Amino acid sequence: MSLTISNEQLQAAASQYGTPLYMYHAEKITAQYQQLQNAFEGVYARFFYACKALTNLAVLQHVHSIGCNIDCSSINEVYLALKAGFNPEQILYTSNGISFEEIEAAVEAGVSVNIDSLSNLEKFGKAYGSRYPVGIRLRPNIMAGGNLKISTGHNGSKFGIPIEQLTEILTIKEHYKLRINCLHVHTGSEIKDVEVFIKVADIFYDLVPSFPDLQVLDMGGGFKVPYQEGEKGTDIPLLAKRVGEVLNKFEKSYGKKFQVWFEPGKYLVSECGYLITSVNVIKETPTVIFAGVNSGFNHLIRPMFYEAYHHIKNLSNPNGKVKIYAVTGNICETDNFAWDRPINEIREGDLLVIENAGAYGFEMGSNYNARFLPAQVLLRDEKMLLIRKRDTMEDLLKNQIGLSY
Ligand code: LLP
């Protein structure tokens, strides 16, 4: 079975559901998960899908059906995960900058919790003491990831408890008899260099003696996927090999088997997703040819926010003469999907597909300019399933309370 969605299938979806449209391939998600499982065979590892990348309920249900666990970054994601059928044992909640009430709600739900501030750790101690095992998120002061906006482990980052505050962590731990069973580090997104994870493991290695209840080494997510042609993603088999070696070292030194957890988001759902758009306007100017589509950064913000590259294909004219385009959205401010991009000749009415849009695409979408969020379709078992309807005017108004004058 092909793990990409063909031009014909994308066109068929566009004509059935209209554009702009997000389309996802369920079996591609399965295949990505299986690649992780295969690579890590024999390594004591568990994978938690970082669902912030794409929380559509049907996608969560699919991820659940293939046996993957789930990582949540808000209590609402925890509730969505429960709704999708995950049991609390499969759910991890890594909090950041949140009120203690959310942590209480996560404990109530019975899920694993990682805490990322001394202040919440103290509150946790007061509330639960040794009654509920807990993980802590550390800031290792390592710079990693595709760009500064998605780097989270460096010494200016808001994430995690800085490693230099170990004494304070241990004081709270002793005082409240906390059972710290997990150490967590997530250094960023799009980490190509496997050795970043090994550096994190080295930090964990030195910390083991301070945490007698430790069972889990959580190395976060951030595996890179290729966006540009010819680009390479994280070498997963190499990562598995290196992590396996590291775990053996831990076992030898400490006479104890530790489990390693990962939280991949992009790796599982980026490549499965496509944003299909229609071309509204071709504007030839003396310097640039603009192809204006019926979408924008309200549907896929990655190019404008991170200057991210997404491959764009003309579905309607795949053999047309290649020309250089700026592909722009219809939002009323600068709104590019691509700059100086060679694409087969684009005509008004053509369908353009923006690839690799599964992760952080729809999910970071908005109703800016009072535009509707696109519908979402899942290709699963060769069947096209509508998994979210396009917004309507009613959706835009449903929480608004106008003046009654
Ligand atoms: N675990 C934690 C604690 C995280 O904060 C994240 C992502 C992940 C796992 C998953 O990372 P991934 O495997 O997807 O790289 N919106 C940005 C990415 C932000 C990632 C935020 N945290 C983008 O579109 O590039």
Using one digit for the tens of pLDDT, what is the confidence trace for 43-65? 999 999 999 999 999 999 999 99
- Ligand 1 centre to CA of 152 (Å) is 9
Q: Of how many residues is the chain composed?
A: 405
pLDDT band at 188 (very low <50, low <70, confident <90, very high): confident
Catalytically active residues are 332
Shared domain check, 372 and 244: no
Shared domain check, 280 and 200: no
Q: Is residue 17 part of a domain?
A: no
Query: Does residue 72 line the site of ligand 1, with CB under 6 A?
Result: no
The Cα–Cα gap between 230 and 261 comes to: 29
Distance in angstroms between the alpha carbons of the first and the last residue of the chain: 60
- When pLDDT is averaged across residues 86-94 and rounded to a whole number, the result is 97
pLDDT band at 159 (very low <50, low <70, confident <90, very high): confident
Q: Is residue 351 part of a domain?
A: yes
Q: Is residue 15 part of a domain?
A: no
Shared domain check, 255 and 286: no
SS3 content of the chain, % helix, strand, coil (to 5): 35, 25, 40
Shared domain check, 167 and 225: yes
Q: What is the pLDDT of residue 31?
A: 98
**322 vs 189 pLDDT, higher one:** 322
Cβ atoms of residues 203 and 140 within 8 Å: yes
CATH assignment at residue 197: 3.20.20.10
- Picking from 275, 346, 282, the residue whose alpha carbon sits closest to that of residue 311 is 275
CA angle 163, 166, 170 (to 5 degrees): 150
Given 222, 249, 264, the domain boundary residue is 264
Shared domain check, 175 and 282: no
Shared domain check, 70 and 216: yes
- Ligand 1 centre to CA of 183 (Å) is 18
- Ligand 1 centre to CA of 94 (Å) is 12
Given 264, 282, 301, the domain boundary residue is 264
CATH assignment at residue 275: 2.40.37.10
Cβ atoms of residues 20 and 294 within 8 Å: yes
Shared domain check, 381 and 308: yes
Shared domain check, 285 and 384: yes
Ligand 1 atom at minimum distance from 145 CA: 15
Cβ atoms of residues 26 and 3 within 8 Å: no
β pairing state of 322-328 and 375-380: unpaired
* Cα diameter, the chain: 75
Given a cut of 90, whether residue 150 has pLDDT beyond it is no
- When pLDDT is averaged across residues 166-177 and rounded to a whole number, the result is 97
Cβ atoms of residues 318 and 355 within 8 Å: no
Shared domain check, 323 and 194: no
Residue closest by Cα to atom 24 of ligand 1: 360
Q: Is residue 13 part of a domain?
A: no
- Ligand 1 centre to CA of 151 (Å) is 9
Q: What is the pLDDT of residue 7?
A: 97
- Ligand 1 centre to CA of 222 (Å) is 6
Query: Does residue 150 line the site of ligand 1, with CB under 6 A?
Result: yes
Query: Does residue 94 line the site of ligand 1, with CB under 6 A?
Result: yes
Task: Report the mean per-residue pLDDT for the chain.
Answer: 96
Boundaries of domain holding 140: 40-264
Given a cut of 80, whether residue 75 has pLDDT beyond it is yes
What lies within 8 Å, CB to CB, of 40 at 6+ separation is: 240, 243, 244
Q: Is residue 155 part of a domain?
A: yes
Q: Is this prediction's pTM over 0.95? A: yes
Q: What is the pLDDT of residue 189?
A: 87
Using one digit for the tens of pLDDT, what is the confidence trace for 358-381? 999 999 999 999 999 999 999 999
Given a cut of 80, whether residue 144 has pLDDT beyond it is no
Helix (H, G, I), strand (E, B) or coil at 352: strand
Ligand 1 atom at minimum distance from 137 CA: 3
Number of domains in the chain: 2
Query: Does residue 265 line the site of ligand 1, with CB under 6 A?
Result: yes
Shared domain check, 60 and 195: yes
Using one digit for the tens of pLDDT, what is the confidence trace for 209-218? 999 999 999 9
Pocket test for ligand 1, best of 91, 263, 270, 356 (most atoms within 8 A of CB): 263
